[in-house]
Amino acid sequence: MRAINYGLDRPAAKVTAAILCCECRLCEAYACPLELSPMSYYVAIKGQLKAQGWKPEKRQDGAGPEPHPMRDGRLVPTHRLIARLGLTEWEDQICPMDEVDYCPARVTIPLRHPRGIGAPAVPSVTVGQEVAVGDLIARIPEGKLGANVHASISGKVSHTSETGIEIVA
């Protein structure tokens, strides 16, 4: 946000930490008293970094990013978040989905993030294979960055493709 204030014309080179933004929206929905949106800025910066082919440097010791030392003191109370979002009136209401053990008869699980972030996962199951809830059904190729995919229901794999895996209960 300071880079915007200072009018840096190519801020992406200065704001590489933007790559750590997971787009949770907490900053714009809760944290910023001026109701600014750091997330929108970071999304734009991430687009610039991607277009420039920027990649984070690997640390010499091989370690990844570490949590901020003040992390535990910065957790957001759910009750305050609900109030800030103007949802207090409904805070005690029970979601019908929580009341029943909802289990759809069929699901299709995408193999890549809806925003195209990261590499797509590759199916590790075959059509006809039985899977249980939580089983690993697609994994990220070695050396790529992305999220492995797990079964959300128990059942039989009925279809796999480059884009998704269908499971029938």
107 beta partners: 167
Nearest approach, Cβ of residue 40 and ligand SF4 (Å): 9
Look at phi and psi of residue 166 and say left if phi exceeds 0, alpha if psi is from -120 to 50, else beta. beta
* Size of the chain, expressed as the number of residues it contains: 169
Nearest approach, Cβ of residue 152 and ligand SF4 (Å): 25
Nearest approach, Cβ of residue 97 and ligand SF4 (Å): 25
Contacts of 157 (CB under 8 A, 6+ apart): 125, 126, 127, 128, 129, 130, 131, 137, 165, 166, 167
Nearest approach, Cβ of residue 159 and ligand SF4 (Å): 34
Q: Between 27 and 149, whose beta carbon lies closer to ligand SF4?
A: 27
DSSP per residue over 98-110, as a string?
Answer: HHTT---SEEEEE
Question: Residue count at the site for ligand SF4 (CB under 6 A)?
Answer: 10
Which of positions 22-51 make contact with ligand SF4 (CB under 6 A)?
A: 22-27, 38-39, 42
Residue span binding ligand SF4 (CB under 6 A) among the ranges 19-27, 61-69, 95-103, 119-127: 19-27
Q: Considering the rule CB under 6 A, would residue 149 count as an interface residue with ligand SF4? A: no
Q: Between 42 and 157, whose beta carbon lies closer to ligand SF4?
A: 42
131 beta partners: 155
Sheet (strand 122-123) strand order? 122-123, 136-139, 149-150
Q: Between 15 and 125, whose beta carbon lies closer to ligand SF4?
A: 15
Residues that bind ligand SF4 (CB under 6 A): 21-27, 38-39, 42
